[in-house]
Chain A
Amino acid sequence: MSRRTPGPPWVVRLYRALVLVFFEAGFRTRHGQEMERLFVERHREVRERGGRLAFLVGAGFDVVRSGVATRLDARRTTRAAGMGPVRGDDRGGGGMDGLRKDARYALRTLWKNPGFTAIAVATIALGIGGNTAIFSVVRAVLMGPLPYEDAERLVMIHGEMRARGVTNFPMSPPDFRDIRDQSTVLEGVAAGFTFAQSLTGDGEPVQIQTGLVTHDFFDVLGVDPILGRGFTEVDTRPNEAGVQPGAPGALPTVVLLSHALWQQRFGGDPGALGRTIEVAGITAEVVGVMPPAFELLLPPSATVARDVDVWTAARIDYDNAPRTNVFLRVVGRLRDGATVEQAQAEMDRIAGDLTAAYEGKAAAGFALSVEPLVEGLTADVRPILLALFGAVGFVLLIACANVANLLLVRASAREREFAVRAAMGGSRRRLIRQMLIESGILAMIGAVVGVAIAAVGVQAILALVPSDLPRAGQVGIDGVVLGFTFLAALGSALVFGLVPALQGSRVDLADSLKDRGQAGTRSSVRLVRNAVVVGEVALSTVLLVGAGLMLRSFVELTAVDPGYDAEGVLTFDVSLPFGRYPQASDRDQAMGELQRRIGALPGVESVSAAFPLPLDGNLFNGRYGLEDALADPSAYRQAAYRAVRPGYLETMGTRVLEGRAFTEADHADSASVVVVDEKLARTLWPDASAVGERMLVRIVTPEPEWVEVIGVVEHQRSEGLAAEGMEQIYFTDRHAGAFASSWVVRAGVDPAVLVPALRRAVDAVDSDLPIASVRRFQDDLDEAMGPTTFALTLIGVFGVTALLLASVGLYGVLSYVVRQRTAEIGVRVAFGAEANNIMGLVVRQGLTLAALGLGLGLAVAVPLSGAVEAMLIGVAPTDPVTFLAVSGVFSLVAVAACVVPARRAMRIDPVQALREG
């Protein structure tokens, strides 16, 4: 069903980058372009023929191997004037056989140094494991294919009301029809929306997600049912005016089932076709079943359910539907070769025509915006994931730096071994090869352990990811991820292996073989080691700044007063099907009965219902204005409407700032009174009290209606915790039309204890009503903090890992320095140097390195922190507090890393030192 989209250019970009990194410059200039072309052509072939993964891994390996070889070629040519023999076997020396010998030798060496090997492998495994885990998430979420055909041609079309600051708005049926009929850039335009309804008729009623769509909705997405048929135009012809679905004389309702519901209700029986189910009291015929992997993956801004259980062909009367009633989410498919820009230009023209034709649209600043589906779907999480990917890449680099330092120490220690080999005719190339093979083996073992770490890490990450992360279910370690791991390991081996190999192989025979040849006193080695430590301190500084900024955002977020008290509040959904409760008064009466019954339950302090609840993702917006808006509709502004039953504000713990909340009497009369939030009161009546004032809204009638403000309450954070959100207007549910379906209960008892009693209370009112999504309101609040918590946790883990690795690196270098300078320190002590001076000597050196790294890191962090700006809340990317705190933490850790080697230096016995030195 899903087809891979053509030409992912990231493969080519990756190849180009690898060539850039690994190949010698001269060779690259000469052959780079042709190599890339050959790669592209081969890639195209294997994509059609299969074996793409093997090809990509092979090509990656080839670039690394050949690239390094070209560098060695170049080095050799510049040194030796004459040309060596040309052999296809570029490994020289003993060829394949020698390679095996070297590998055996390397394994033996590693085996004989278990401490070193374990530390190096663990460090590398940590870095590679982290990268593998994050890459598997990035790949599934950002690069994974959508389960739609040619998904890159799919776009969302949103409405906008620019004069009222409203974007990502749904569309009215007539507007949708105009777009569909007039567009030439889009070859298909379809629409739909989702909402929860009850499924009855088989055991306990359950709440399910239903999707109402135009007949060609799945054609536009490019998805076919796996069983039965899709919708046709006949299925969507409107009923006669005034005839409700399911009522006598109504056209039949036909539905497609999700694969899951088909399994659950019909046990996967193909005979389900033609059978009926009862949705919200309406009997519907099953005509088909959707594929198992199908999900409705629209951008989060479209606020649709991702897993829809029942799809219904929507019978919409386009001729008589008002243009002010917006609920359709519109999806279009670009004609082959058409661009998003062309579609946007066309929508601008259509929106212009509509604005010219309909008065209200001009006042609202009506516009249409086109958003590529894939982009919109991942727009929220892309910056977080990329920042995490960058962070974990830093961790790997730091890990490599540590291992490089270990290898440098070992290369110094092994100088004599190398000198012997050189004396016996081993070429420098052989030595380099030997050491690179050791690095390669270390990296590969690290990769294997790393994959195991990643397998655990992925589970931990999945437990943390925000629940609305698209395609989270596809995250896993597969062939492509393993290919990435392999390349990461190879790259790491070169990063940490090359410098020590080049350094270590530069053997001065005469010097090293002398009896007391001192290992590793060369200043070049010291310089390299110092540079490596400065580099890793800088890298971890950058990471810590990132972690610090996220921590500040998290603290900001927890400090936000959301305008309600979530503690002890339980929420659940009970919606009364309009099919069986057609009259608002019937619904209101049933809800009143339910409210009374729940209120009487032991432990329940208060209960109410509303639509929508804060943070539940539902949209219910409307306009508001004063007298002047009657003459000039552009004076209207947009607010979030709330339909509430009495007791709602009290149950939520939202404080009344002025006036009063709704009473039973307000509700019973469906009086034209409203409660507004402080933000709206400030906007309309900045200098006076809002209570007693009148304003215009439009909630039940097409024409604006005057209502009186009876109270002002604190603002509720509704669209998330970070954003303040729109002004809010509360109506009595009776006034709004009696459809409050989200119930809130404040109780002093454990919610789980309450559920059976709630079930009985609902049954007493109507045993066909399902109770759905019972949850603690605090969970919604936690979920709203999800992305920030997620980013904070991971960046925090990476930051602390980086800090530890860097301090180990610093410690290692200083210990080594102390060992190196034992003789010198001994002399100083012998000449009466104070212990404190010796300590100062070592600490000073350590702190100089740390300070250099810290300075470098802070300088780099300033531009880089802009990358996480989208994730920051209430804190600037260059927040001085964070930068200072990171500097402080780092200085402390650096001092700690210096103290142990310094104390060792202090205890040096001059006699001993001088004898040894």
Chain B
Amino acid sequence: MPFSDHPDAQSDVSRHLPLTPAVFEILLSLADGHRHGYAIMQTVEARTGGEVRLHAGTLYRALARLTEAQLIEELDSSSDGETDERRRYYALTPGGRDVAAAEARRLESQVGAARAQGLLEGTT
């Protein structure tokens, strides 16, 4: 993992945190494979039970910025034979995976703290 081996890796990851719910959901939706924009939107919507609905502008701007920050990458669409050529496919980069994982850990620690404070009693 070249990204994590980098001396500055830790700070590189942490400077992205915390993620907004929408960005975190986008990264999550790419965790199990590449998807195009519409599929990301559907996955996010399905996973959150309709809680997070992304409009086209927000989604594509987030994708553009995540690509720019090299947390996700665009796949060469011709590499997948059955895809519609006009669609761009996105996949997590190792760095993006690290950031998503770090965010998950951060959330987990918050949940842990909440549990320790007795906020979540009876619900686990």
Question: Which A positions have Cβ atoms within 8 angstroms of B?
Answer: 19, 23, 27, 30-31, 33-39, 41-42, 58-59, 62-63, 65-67, 69-70, 73, 77, 83, 85-90
User: Can you report 15 A-B residue pairs in the complex whose CB atoms are below 8 A from each other?
Assistant: A19-B57, A31-B60, A33-B86, A34-B87, A34-B88, A39-B56, A42-B56, A66-B58, A66-B61, A70-B64, A73-B61, A86-B71, A87-B20, A88-B20, A89-B20
With A35-B57, A38-B59, A62-B55 as contacts: A30 and B37 at CB distance below 8 Å: no
- Is A30 within 8 A of B64, CB to CB? yes
Residues of chain A contacted by B16 (CB below 8 angstroms): 85-87
Q: How far is the CB of A206 from chain B (nearest CB, A)?
A: 56
Contact B57–A67 (Cβ < 8 Å)? yes
By CB atoms of chain A within 10 A, which of B24, B38, B58 has the most? B58
Q: Are A27 and B56 in contact (CB under 8 A)?
A: no
Contact of B65 among A19, A62, A63, A86 (CB under 8 A): A86
- Does the CB pair A31–B22 fall under 8 Å? no
Query: A34-B88, A73-B65 are contacts. A88–B56 as well, Cβ < 8 Å?
Result: no
Binding site secondary structure of chain A = helix
- Supplied contacts A31-B60, A35-B57, 17 more A-B pairs, CB within 8 Å: A27-B61, A31-B63, A34-B87, A35-B37, A39-B56, A42-B41, A58-B53, A59-B55, A62-B56, A63-B57, A70-B61, A86-B65, A86-B68, A87-B20, A88-B19, A88-B22, A90-B65
Task: Considering the complex, give the chain B residue whose CB is closest to the CB of A33.
Answer: B86
**B68 CB to nearest A CB, Å:** 6
**A608 CB, nearest partner CB in chain B, Å:** 68
B61 to A90, Cβ gap below 8 A? yes
Residues of B within 8 A of A42 (CB): 41, 56
A69 to B57, CA, bound (A): 10
- Which of A23, A66, A86 is close to B69, meaning CB atoms less than 8 Å apart? A86
Closest 4 interchain pairs by CB?
A88-B20, A66-B57, A62-B55, A88-B23
Q: By the criterion CB–CB under 8 Å, are B71 and A31 in contact?
A: no
Pick from B20, B61, B71 the residue with the most CB of A within 10 Å. Answer: B61
Query: Cα distance A27–B62 when bound, in Å?
Result: 12
**How far apart sit A66 and B59, CA to CA, in the bound complex (Å)?**
9
A residues near B58, Cβ cutoff 8 Å: 62, 65-66
Given contacts A86-B68, A86-B69, contact A62 B57 (CB under 8 A): yes
B-chain residues with CB within 8 Å of residue A39 when the two chains form the complex: 56
Q: Are A58 and B71 in contact (CB under 8 A)?
A: no
B57 x A65 contact (CB < 8 A): yes
Interfacial chain A residues near B66, Cβ < 8 Å:
86
> Which residues does B use to contact A, with CB under 8 Å?
15-16, 19-24, 36-38, 41, 53, 55-66, 68-69, 71, 86-88
Q: Which of B36, B37, B64 has the most CB of A within 10 A?
A: B64
User: Can you name the residue of chain B whose Cβ is closest to the Cβ of A67?
Assistant: B57
Option from A34, A77, A86 in Cβ contact (under 8 Å) with B60: A34
Q: Are B64 and A85 in contact (CB under 8 A)?
A: no
Closest chain B residue, CB of each to CB of A35: B56
Task: Say how far B75's CB is from chain A's closest CB, in angstroms.
Answer: 14
A34 (CB) vs chain B CBs: closest residue: B37
Taking CB atoms, residues of chain A closer than 8 Å to B69 are 83, 86
Contact A38 B56 (CB under 8 A): yes
Partner of A59, one of B41, B56, B61, B87: B56
Closest to B60 in A: A31
Q: Which A residues are CB-close (under 8 A) to B22?
A: 88
- Report how far A70 CA is from B63 CA in the complex, Å: 12
Bound together, the chains give a CA A447 to CA B36 distance in angstroms of: 38
Chain B nearest CB from A781 CB (Å) reads 54
**For the complex, what is the distance from the CA of A83 to the CA of B65, rounded to whole Å?**
10
Residues of B within 8 A of A59 (CB): 55-56
**Chain B residues with CB below 8 A from A27, complex form:** 60-61, 64
A540–B86 Cα distance when bound, in Å, is 44
Q: Which residues of B contact A36 (CB under 8 A)?
A: 56
Interface centre among A33, A38, A63, A83 (most CB of B within 10 A): A38
Alpha-carbon separation in the docked complex, A42 to B62 (Å): 18
A744 to chain B, nearest CB (A): 63
Task: Evaluate contact between A83 and B61: CB separation under 8 angstroms.
Answer: no
Q: Let me know if B55 and A58 touch, CB within 8 A.
A: yes
Q: CB distance B68 to A34 under 8 Å?
A: no
How close is B96's CB to chain A, nearest CB, in angstroms?
A: 10
CA distance A19 to B23 in the complex (A): 22
Q: A31-B60, A62-B57, A89-B20 are in contact. Are A38 and B65 (CB under 8 A)?
A: no
Chain A, Cβ-Cβ closest to B62: A88
Give complex CA distance A33, B21 in Å: 26
**Cα–Cα, bound, A37→B37 (Å):** 10
Residues of chain A lying within 8 A (CB to CB) of residue B23: 86-88
Whole-angstrom distance between the Cβ of A569 and the nearest chain B Cβ: 62
Complex: A67 Cα to B68 Cα, angstroms: 17
Once bound together, how far apart are the Cα atoms of A69 and B59, in whole Å? 12
Residues of A within 8 A of B24 (CB): 88
Query: Which residues does chain B contribute within 8 Å of A23, judged by CB atoms?
Result: 57
Chain B residues near A88 (CB-CB < 8 A): 19-24, 62
* Bound CA–CA A798/B75 (angstroms): 54
- Residues on the B chain within 8 Å of A33, using CB: 86
A69 touches B55 (CB 8 A): no
Q: How far is the CA of A461 from the CA of B76 in the complex (A)?
A: 57
Which residues of A lie under 8 Å from residue B41 when comparing CB positions? 38, 42
B38 touches A38 (CB 8 A): yes
Compute how far the CA of A90 lies from the CA of B57 in the bound complex, rounded to whole angstroms.
13
CA distance A62 to B57 in the complex (A): 6
The smallest beta-carbon distance between B86 and chain A, in angstroms, is 6
Best-surrounded residue of A27, A34, A37 (most CB of chain B within 10 A): A34
Q: For A62, give the chain B residue with the smallest CB separation.
A: B55
Determine the distance from Cα of A58 to Cα of B55 in the docked complex, in whole angstroms.
8
**CB nearest neighbor in A for B65:** A86
A232 to B88, CA, bound (A): 57
- Nearest-Cβ distance from residue A703 to partner chain B, whole angstroms: 69
Q: Which residues of A contact B56 (CB under 8 A)?
A: 34-36, 38-39, 42, 59, 62-63
Alpha-carbon gap, A667 to B96, bound state (A): 98
A37 touches B60 (CB 8 A): no
| Closest Cβ neighbor of B66 among chain A residues | A86
A67 to B61, CA, bound (A): 8
Q: Which of B16, B57, B69, B86 has the most CB of A within 10 A?
A: B57
Please name all residues of chain B whose beta carbon is closer than 8 Å to the beta carbon of A65 when the two chains form the complex: 57-58
Nearest residue, chain A, Cβ from B53: A58
Closest residue of chain B to A59 (Cβ to Cβ) is B55
A37 touches B38 (CB 8 A): yes
Residues of B within 8 A of A85 (CB): 15-16
Closest chain-B Cβ to A52's Cβ sits at a distance in Å of: 14
Distance to closest chain B CB from A92 (angstroms): 12
| Cα(A38)–Cα(B56), bound, Å | 6
- Interchain CA distance A65-B61 in the complex, whole Å: 10
Q: How far is A62 from B20 in the complex, measured between Cα atoms in Å?
A: 17
Chain A residues lying within 8 Å of B63, measured Cβ to Cβ, are: 31
Nearest residue, chain A, Cβ from B71: A86
Instruction: Provide the bound-state CA to CA distance between A42 and B56, in Å.
Output: 9
Tell me which residues across on chain A come within 8 A of B53, comparing CB atoms: 58
Most chain A CB atoms below 10 A, which of B20, B21, B24, B66 = B20
Q: Please measure, in the bound complex, the distance between the C-alpha atom of A59 and the C-alpha atom of B23, giving whole angstroms.
A: 18
Nearest Cβ on chain A to B60's Cβ, whole angstroms: 4
Q: How far is the CA of A569 from the CA of B22 in the complex (A)?
A: 73
Contacts of B64 in A (CB 8 A): 27, 30-31, 70, 73
From B41, B55, B59, B88, residue with most partner A Cβ within 10 Å: B55
Q: Roughly how many angstroms separate A33 CA and B37 CA in the complex, as a whole number?
A: 11
CA distance A65 to B66 in the complex (A): 18
Closest to A69 in B: B61
Interface centre among A30, A31, A39, A70 (most CB of B within 10 A): A31
A33 to B60 alpha-carbon distance, docked (Å): 11
Q: Complex Cα distance A63/B37, Å?
A: 16
Q: Which residues of chain A come closer than 8 Å to B60, judged between CB atoms?
A: 27, 31, 34-35, 66
